């Protein structure tokens, strides 16, 4: 009987040492220490033994049960500690650990520049207006003093739609649209997309953005000097207070006289650098006194009003402001570029 008990003990201790979950410990407790366990079963036979044997085997049996129970408890504690340690490892919070950085969205650089431009002009009392991107021939060309056979039409490569409409080639069409409904005095800017049928390269895209400006009032009330100071304020607001501007004579059919505008290079302040191609000035856009034919096209009497108009490419302004050398980056959707703004 002693041997039987010893075998049970050895088997129990071996199985306990291998157990690695609380569930297994629980099962072993039932198997080796519970009321229906093998050991209890064997010990039931004691009643048939002699008194001396009863004492000896009884004691041995008790010690064995204690040993098994002891091992079970020890192992149980060990497993519990192990589990707690794992939870600690997994759920440990280190409050000194730097927080996770969330990627925050932001406005596209072109939109940022667009808002900057709008703010500058609003502060000078301009109204911001918008109009359609698909124009009829009249508003895009004829009303801008570019009738069908006018050679100036070749200045702008045009996408023609089958129905005779055009994705507007410039925002100047908004001048005509606005003056059909509003008589001078007026001060407006209009920003939006324009389309030209040209191949794209580092400085050209078939789809880009322009800002158009128009000031008109009774004849004699608007001069080139007013316009120059407004554009100068605009450039200072966008590129910094020290920015200078200059006008050069140029030709656009919808203005007379016409100019091209340059700003002093915001990088080298006129010294000459990579951005301004060593000349110290950067060409920005066109401007001029509104041609009387434009006023006539929208139904005004010749010489009743006088005005000044200007137009700039927004991409070009953004490229200079941020030192970007390829216009195609704006629409490429490359996050490595966009995340820099």
Placement of tokens 């650089």 in the chain: 109
287 binds ligand PHE (CB under 6 A): yes
- Judged by CB, which is closer to ligand PHE: 192, or 311? 311
Applying CB under 6 A, among 68, 309, 319, 324 the residue interacting with ligand PHE is 309
167 binds ligand PHE (CB under 6 A): no
Least Cα distance to 261 among 243, 245, 238 occurs for 245
Q: Determine how β-strand 255-264 pairs with β-strand 166-167.
A: unpaired
Applying CB under 6 A, among 286, 295, 307, 316 the residue interacting with ligand PHE is 286
- Judged by CB, which is closer to ligand PHE: 5, or 255? 255
> Among 57-65, 229-237, 281-289, 297-305, which window interacts with ligand PHE (CB under 6 A)?
281-289
In DSSP terms, which residues pair with 204 in a beta bridge?
Answer: 201
289 binds ligand PHE (CB under 6 A): no
> Among 49-57, 64-72, 226-234, 286-294, which window interacts with ligand PHE (CB under 6 A)?
286-294
Applying CB under 6 A, among 61, 167, 266, 288 the residue interacting with ligand PHE is 288
Number of residues that bind ligand PHE (CB under 6 A): 12
Question: What count of Cα atoms within 13 Å lies in the side-chain half-sphere of residue 258?
Answer: 12
276 binds ligand PHE (CB under 6 A): no
- Judged by CB, which is closer to ligand PHE: 141, or 310? 310
Give, as ranges, the residues between 173 and 232 that touch ligand PHE (CB under 6 A).
212
Rounded Cα–Cα distance for residues 63 and 57 (Å)? 10
- Judged by CB, which is closer to ligand PHE: 8, or 120? 120
> Among 24-32, 40-48, 128-136, 285-293, which window interacts with ligand PHE (CB under 6 A)?
285-293
Give, as ranges, the residues between 67 and 126 that touch ligand PHE (CB under 6 A).
none
CA torsion sign, 216 to 221 to 223 to 226?
negative
Residues in touch with ligand PHE (CB under 6 A): 170, 172, 212, 252, 255, 285-288, 309-311
């Amino acid at each position: 009987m002693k041997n039987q008990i010893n075998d049970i003990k050895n088997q129990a201790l071996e199985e306990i040492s291998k157990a690695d979950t609380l569930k297994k410990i629980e099962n072993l407790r039932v198997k080796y220490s519970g009321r229906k366990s093998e050991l209890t079963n064997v010990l039931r036979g004691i009643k048939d033994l002699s008194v001396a044997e009863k004492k000896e085997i009884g004691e041995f049996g008790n010690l064995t049960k204690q040993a098994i129970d002891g091992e079970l408890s020890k192992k149980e504690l060990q497993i519990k500690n192990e589990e707690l340690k794992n939870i600690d490892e997994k759920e440990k919070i280190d409050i000194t650990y730097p927080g996770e950085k969330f990627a925050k969205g932001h406005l596209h650089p072109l939109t940022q520049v667009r808002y900057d431009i709008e703010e500058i002009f609003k502060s000078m009392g301009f109204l911001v207006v918008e109009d359609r991107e698909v124009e009829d021939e009249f508003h895009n060309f004829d009303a801008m003093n570019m009738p069908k056979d006018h050679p100036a039409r070749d200045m702008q490569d045009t996408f023609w739609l089958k129905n005779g409409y055009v994705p507007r080639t410039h925002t100047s069409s908004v001048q005509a649209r606005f003056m059909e409904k509003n008589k001078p005095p007026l001060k407006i800017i209009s920003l939006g997309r324009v389309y030209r049928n040209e191949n794209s390269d580092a400085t050209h895209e078939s789809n880009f953005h322009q800002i158009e400006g128009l000031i008109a009032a009774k004849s004699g009330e608007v001069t080139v000097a007013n316009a120059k100071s407004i554009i100068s304020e605009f450039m200072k607001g966008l590129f910094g207070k020290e920015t200078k501007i200059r006008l050069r004579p140029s030709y656009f059919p919808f203005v007379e006289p016409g100019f091209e505008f340059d700003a002093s290079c915001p990088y080298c302040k006129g010294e000459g650098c990579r951005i301004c191609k060593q000349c110290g000035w950067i060409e920005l856009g066109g401007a001029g006194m509104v041609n009387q034919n434009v006023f006539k096209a929208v139904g005004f009497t010749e010489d009743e009003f006088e005005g000044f108009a200007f137009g700039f490419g927004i991409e070009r302004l953004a490229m200079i402001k941020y030192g970007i050398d390829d216009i195609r980056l704006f629409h490429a959707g490359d996050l490595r570029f966009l995340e820099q703004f």
